[in-house]
Amino acid sequence: MHRNYVGAIERGEINPTFQTLLAVAAGLGLPLSEIVAAARIETVEQLAGVVIERLVREHFDALLHRLVWRVWRLEEQLRSDGTDAGARQ
């Protein structure tokens, strides 16, 4: 897709077909629904919410894994501290 064509779409000079919108979405690596939702954003707070929601959705598994690992490490430390304290008494 030529950059002038994309620029004309961005400036509202032409109305793209549905097929063109799908091609733009694929080129950006985004679902068309996210592009349409982004077009409705009117405030910085709405933008922040969309960005945070997407980050959480994309990285949920990694965040959950990290959280579980940290809880496990904390439990291990608490067990170790409790064992050491009991041995000293």
Quote the CA–CA distance of 19 and 39 in Å, as a whole number: 18
Query: Based on the domain organization, do 47 and 84 belong to the same domain?
Result: yes
Q: How many domains does the chain have?
A: 2
Note whether 47 and 85 are same-domain residues.
Answer: yes
Q: Does 30 lie in the same domain as 49?
A: no
Query: What tokens were used for 82?
Result: 């409790």
Does this model's pTM top 0.85? no
Please check whether residues 34 and 68 belong to one and the same domain.
Answer: no
Residues 33 and 52 in one domain: no
User: Taking the mean position of all CA atoms in its chain, how far away is CA 5?
Assistant: 29
- For residue 3, the enclosing domain spans 1-40
Q: Which candidate, 57, 1, 60, places its Cα nearest to that of 28?
A: 1
Q: Are residues 46 and 17 in the same domain?
A: no
* Distance in angstroms (rounded) separating the CA atoms of residues 69 and 18: 45
Q: Longest Cα pair distance anywhere in the chain, in angstroms?
A: 81
One domain, residues 35 and 46 = no
Per-residue pLDDT tens digits of the chain, which is 89 residues long? 888 888 888 888 999 899 998 998 898 888 888 888 877 887 878 778 877 888 888 888 888 889 999 999 999 999 998 765 555 55
